[in-house]
Amino acid sequence: MKENDIQRLLLWYEKNKRDLPWRHTKDAYKIWVSETMLQQTRVDTVVPYYERFLKKLPTLKDLAMIPEEELLKLWEGLGYYSRARNLQKAAKILCAEKFDFLPPDKFLLEQLPGIGPYTVGAILSIAYEIEEPAIDGNVLRVLSRVYEESEDILSSKVRKKYTEILRGLMKGASPNLFTQSFIELGALVCTKTPDCPNCPLNNCCKAYKHQTVLSYPKKKLKKEKPVFLKTVFLFQYKNTFMIHKRQENGLLANLYEFPNWESFLTLEEVYNILAQKKIFYKNVTFLGEVTHVFSHQKWHLKVYKILLEEPIFHDFLLQERKF
Ligand code: ADE
């Protein structure tokens, strides 16, 4: 890739970029929130969350001060809740150090919880126009094709190599436009089903030249995720459903969920448990099975609805839980 390839990419970006709310600000706090939400979540999903989050928490100080329960409520549905907790931890650290904004300081940003090299690069380049590359999955996909990268793109060696290549290519361009144009190309053109004829980098792309685009990026085979079987109880009394709060540590810490059991239960086993626990119900209905996929595990859930005769006020499953 050379300077004129970058010029073509920037022109393409000017013409084709999506109108996204975080592209109307240079406020590093807002850019940070958007980039954190965009990790592992699609742009379309993020937009309404981003707007609601910043309406409620327009400044770093607001984020540091909000009770955790309210913060998690704002995040509800986005998943990966440690992202929200880390945002707040980092905001508290900055406020304790008397910062009321995110400083343009690479060393300081790198120390904050939840902020890795991608987020540092995104904040510095997009908000502060500092020449620091930001390499996410989108950018790696583009680079792996342009250079026909034969190594695992998730290795730190490959990341380092491309950080230096991008650092060189960034010189002379606006770091903001440079970073966003690579991300946008990866999101709109250089995708799983790439639109190579309309790509501004097609004349410097080795994979396009050799018609090997679909063989890139190369990734090491991922380990299969462990699968957990569970049974979920929707206890209904009139028009209310019972929920309980998970424990303070570990996966989905402190969040609310429907009571559940750590195995698949047959209808007969459900009846037995309800009898043992002296729960008075009108009827039990099997609603079906659902799968929920996390980054590192999968839950297969069997769901029963139990229409109650009388409300339950104790968390009767809690003693049974091993985690
Ligand atoms: N994905 C990650 N960062 C993004 C950004 N700034 N704009 C659009 N998609 C993104």
Question: In a 3-state reduction of DSSP, which class is residue 31?
Answer: helix
Closest ligand 1 atom to Cα of 22:
6
CA–centroid distance, 137 to ligand 1, in Å, is 10
List ligand 1's pocket residues with C-beta within 6 A: 20, 35, 38, 43, 136, 180, 183, 187
Q: State in Å: Cα 38 to ligand 1 middle.
A: 6
Asked if 278 and 305 touch (Cβ cutoff 8 Å), the reply is no
Give the Å distances, CA to CA, from 86 to 37, 92, 291: 12, 10, 27
Spatial CA neighbour of 162 closest among 114, 217, 107: 217
Bridge partners, residue 295, by sequence:
none
> What is the spatial distance between Cα 283 and Cα 300, in angstroms, rounded to a whole number?
24
Taking the centre of ligand 1 as the mean of its atom positions, its distance from the CA of residue 34, in whole angstroms, is 8
What's the CA gap between 103 and 112, in Å, rounded? 12
Mutate which of 183, 184, 185 for ligand 1? The one with the most ligand atoms within 8 Å of its CB, which is 183
Residues with catalytic roles: 35
The protein residue with its alpha carbon nearest to ligand 1, atom 2, reads 38
pLDDT of 3 over the 70 cut: yes
Confidence of residue 277 (pLDDT cuts 50, 70, 90): confident
Q: Which residues of 307-320 are buried (b: 16+ CB within 10 A; e: fewer)?
A: ebeeebeeebbeee
Tell me the C-alpha distance between 291 and 284, whole Å: 21
Residue 4 burial by Cβ neighbours in a 10 Å radius (0-12, 13-18, 19+): exposed
| Nearest atom of ligand 1 to the alpha carbon of 187 | 9
CA 126 to centroid of ligand 1, rounded, Å:
10
pLDDT in tens, 154-189: 899 999 999 999 999 999 899 999 999 999 999 999
Mutate to test the pocket of ligand 1, among 13, 19, 20 (most ligand atoms within 8 A of CB): 20
Instruction: Name all domains of the chain by residue range, CATH numbers in brackets.
Output: 3-137+147-184 (1.10.340.30), 227-308 (3.90.79.10)
Average pLDDT, whole number, for the chain? 93
Ligand 1 atom 1 nearest Cα:
38
Model pLDDT, residue 154: 87
Helical segments of the chain, H only: 3-16, 28-38, 43-56, 60-65, 68-75, 82-96, 106-111, 117-122, 128, 137-146, 156-170, 175-188, 206-209, 267-276
Q: Based on the number of CB atoms within 10 Å of its own CB, is 66 exposed (0-12), middle (13-18) or buried (19 or more)?
A: middle
* Residues 218-269 pLDDT 10s: 988 778 899 999 999 999 999 999 988 888 888 888 888 999 999 999 999 9
Q: How far is the CA of 42 from the centre of ligand 1 (A)?
A: 9
